[in-house]
C-alpha cells in the first residue's frame, strides 16, 4: 500500500517530466527542420505556402518556417543526363539508349547525353513549372521524355544512311536546338548535346556490311579501269611520239636530199670524179649517155700543145 501511495504521489512529477522532454524534442526537431542546406553548385528556392511568395538564395544554410515555407534546390553548375546502352553507365540501369525511327521506317538505338543547368534568375521558373519537385524527379519525367521526343522527331526526317554517316552532325545540331527551346520554356538552359554510339539491328548491320563490301569492290574496279585507261593512254602517247619522231626524221632526210640534189652541179660532179680518178678508167666514163670526161680529147690537146712547142 505504501508503494502504491508513493507512485500516485510521484505521478504528477513524472508526467511533468515527460511533457518537458516532449517539448524539448519538439523544439529540437522544429529548429532542425528550420534549416535546409543548399549544396555548392546549386541555387535554393524558398516558397511561402501561405502567401505564394518565392525567393532564391545561394549555397549554404537556408532558413525556413516549418510547415509554412518550402525550400528546394536546383543546379546552376552543369549537370549531365545520360542515356546509353551499356548497363554500367548512364542515368538509368540496363539498355537506356533511345529508339530512333528513320525516314524509311527502320529503327536504331542511339546513345545520347545532355548537359544542362538553370540560373539564379530562372530557378524560380523551374520551381513553378514543376511545383517544387526535386531535380531527380524532374529528370526522370520531363527531361527524359523531352530528350526522347525531340530526338525521335529529328531522326524521323532523315534516312538511315544519313543518321549514321554524313548527316550525323546535322542531327546532333537539330536535337540540340529543339531541346534548348523546349527546356528553356521550363526554366532550364541546354549547354550541349552529344550523340554517342549508334546501335544497329543485326539484319541492318549485315546489310550495311554487304553494301560497304560492294562499294569497295566497285571502287576497286573503277580504280583498275582508270589504271588500264592510263596505261593505254601512255602507250598511245608513246606510239604517237615514235611516229612523230619518225616523221620528223623522214622530213629531215628528205630536206637533206633535196639540198644535196640542188648542190650537185655538173662542174662539181666532174671535179669530184677527177679527185677520185686513179688513171685506169675507160676512155669514156660517166653515168649517162654524155660523158662528163673525154680522155682522148684531153690527150690530143696535150699533143698539139707539145708539137706547137
* Model pLDDT for residues 266-296, shown as the tens digit of each residue: 666 666 666 665 655 555 545 544 454 554 4
List the end-to-end C-alpha distance of the chain, in Å, as a whole number. 209
Cα separation of 150 and 235, whole Å? Answer: 60
Contact 180, 189 (CB under 8 A): yes
The average pLDDT across 298-305 equals 47
The residue that leads in pLDDT, 258 or 60, is 60
Cα separation of 223 and 226, whole Å? Answer: 5
CA gyration radius for the chain?
Answer: 55
87-112 residue pLDDT tens: 666 666 667 999 999 999 999 999 99
Q: How far is CA 96 from the centre of its chain?
A: 25
DSSP 75: E
The residue that leads in pLDDT, 280 or 53, is 53
Cα separation of 149 and 213, whole Å? Answer: 35
Residue 78, pLDDT score: 97
Residue 196, pLDDT score: 93
Cα separation of 275 and 288, whole Å? Answer: 19
Residue 290, pLDDT score: 46
Cα separation of 299 and 270, whole Å? Answer: 17
Cα separation of 233 and 67, whole Å? Answer: 92
> Which of 255, 230, 234, 256 shows the shortest CA–CA distance to 242?
234
Residue 73, pLDDT score: 96
3-state secondary structure of 96: coil
Contact 101, 156 (CB under 8 A): yes
29-40 residue pLDDT tens: 555 566 788 999
Cell of 267: 662542174
- Report the length, in residues, of the chain: 309
Q: How far is CA 31 from the centre of its chain?
A: 58
Q: What percent of the chain has pLDDT over 70?
A: 66
Residue indicated by cell numbers 601512255: 234
CA angle 29, 34, 39 (to 5 degrees): 115
pLDDT band at 191 (very low <50, low <70, confident <90, very high): very high
The average pLDDT across 34-57 equals 91
Torsion angles phi and psi, residue 226, rounded to 5: -65, -35
Residue 303, pLDDT score: 46
Q: How far is CA 55 from CA 76, 134, 203, 279, in A?
A: 16, 17, 56, 140
Is residue 60 left, alpha or beta, with left meaning phi > 0 and alpha meaning psi from -120 to 50? left
Strands (E), 176-253: 189-199
Amino acid at each position: 500500500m505504501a508503494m502504491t501511495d508513493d507512485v500516485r504521489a510521484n505521478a504528477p512529477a513524472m508526467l511533468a517530466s515527460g511533457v518537458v522532454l516532449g517539448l524539448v524534442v519538439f523544439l529540437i526537431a522544429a529548429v532542425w527542420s528550420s534549416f535546409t542546406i543548399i549544396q555548392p553548385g546549386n541555387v535554393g528556392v524558398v516558397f511561402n505556402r501561405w502567401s505564394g511568395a518565392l525567393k532564391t538564395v545561394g549555397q549554404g544554410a537556408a532558413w525556413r518556417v516549418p510547415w509554412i515555407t518550402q525550400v528546394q534546390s536546383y543546379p546552376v553548375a552543369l549537370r549531365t543526363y545520360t542515356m546509353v546502352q551499356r548497363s554500367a553507365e548512364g542515368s538509368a540501369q540496363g539498355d537506356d539508349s533511345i529508339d530512333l525511327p528513320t525516314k524509311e521506317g527502320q529503327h536504331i538505338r542511339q546513345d545520347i547525353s545532355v548537359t544542362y543547368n538553370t540560373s539564379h534568375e530562372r530557378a524560380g521558373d523551374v520551381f513553378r513549372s514543376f511545383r517544387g519537385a526535386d531535380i531527380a524527379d524532374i529528370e526522370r519525367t520531363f527531361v527524359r521524355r523531352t530528350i526522347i521526343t525531340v530526338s525521335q522527331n529529328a531522326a524521323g526526317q532523315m534516312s538511315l544512311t544519313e543518321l549514321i554517316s554524313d548527316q550525323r552532325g546535322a542531327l546532333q545540331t537539330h536535337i540540340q536546338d529543339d531541346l534548348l527551346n523546349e527546356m528553356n520554356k521550363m526554366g532550364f538552359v541546354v549547354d550541349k548535346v552529344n550523340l554517342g554510339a549508334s546501335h544497329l539491328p543485326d539484319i541492318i548491320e549485315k546489310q550495311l556490311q554487304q553494301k560497304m563490301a560492294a562499294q569497295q569492290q566497285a571502287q576497286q574496279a573503277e580504280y583498275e579501269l582508270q589504271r588500264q585507261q592510263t596505261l593505254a593512254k601512255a602507250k598511245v602517247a608513246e606510239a604517237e611520239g615514235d611516229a612523230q619522231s619518225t616523221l620528223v626524221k623522214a622530213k629531215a632526210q628528205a630536206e637533206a636530199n633535196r639540198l644535196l640534189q640542188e648542190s650537185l652541179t655538173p662542174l662539181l660532179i666532174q671535179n669530184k670524179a677527177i679527185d677520185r680518178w686513179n688513171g685506169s678508167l675507160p676512155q669514156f666514163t660517166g653515168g649517162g649517155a654524155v660523158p662528163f670526161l673525154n680522155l682522148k680529147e684531153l690527150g690530143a690537146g696535150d699533143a698539139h700543145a707539145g708539137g706547137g712547142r
